[in-house]
Structures are given as structure tokens and as C-alpha cells.
């Protein structure tokens, strides 16, 4: 299983990511081991979704990073 997740960051922005190991990845974000969010802690998991394949998860993650994906995220996911 693969996960797409949204994190709320210290600066009020939203981080979008994907991983096969959600608990491990969230812990990395919390501990400052994730380069992209280490200076934006604390982080809070806002939402996650499970996909059967890596490709599906990655495609949805990429979509959520587009302007229309951000609008969808803001209206339906958070």
C-alpha cells in the first residue's frame, strides 16, 4: 500500500508527500530528519489516503501540487 499525505507546517503552509511507510515518514518529519520540513516543525498530519500502487499514489500527489489540485485539496480534503 502507498500513502499520500498532507502536513500542516509551522508557517501555515501545507506539505504534500507520498510514501509506502506512513508512520515512519511522519516520524521522520517530526524528528527533523526530512530535509523539506526540518525547519518548519512542528508538523501535524492533516489528511492521508491509501492507494494500491505507487504509481497511483504518485500521480495523485503530483495532482495535489498543481493549482487545480490545491483548489480541490482546500475544498474537499482540509
Give the tens place of pLDDT for each residue, 49-68.
999 999 999 999 999 999 99
Q: How far is CA 37 from the centre of its chain?
A: 11
pLDDT confidence of residue 27: 98
Cα–Cα distance measured from residue 33 to residue 25, given in angstroms and rounded to the nearest whole number? 9
Long-range contacts of 59-67 (CB under 8 A, 24+ apart): 60/4, 60/18, 61/4, 61/16, 61/17, 61/18, 64/4, 64/6, 64/16, 65/16
Domains and CATH numbers, the chain: 2-77 (3.40.1440.10)
Give residue-wise pLDDT tens across range 8-46.
Answer: 999 999 999 999 999 999 999 999 999 999 999 999 999
Exposure on the CB side of residue 21, measured as CA atoms within 13 A: 5
Amino acid at each position: 500500500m502507498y500513502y499520500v499525505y498532507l502536513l500542516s507546517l509551522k508557517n501555515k503552509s501545507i506539505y504534500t508527500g507520498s510514501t509506502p511507510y506512513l508512520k515512519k515518514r511522519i516520524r521522520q518529519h517530526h524528528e527533523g530528519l526530512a530535509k523539506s520540513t526540518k525547519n518548519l516543525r512542528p508538523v501535524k498530519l492533516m489528511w492521508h489516503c491509501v492507494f494500491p500502487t505507487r504509481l497511483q499514489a504518485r500521480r495523485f500527489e503530483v495532482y495535489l501540487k498543481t493549482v487545480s489540485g490545491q483548489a480541490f485539496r482546500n475544498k474537499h480534503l482540509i
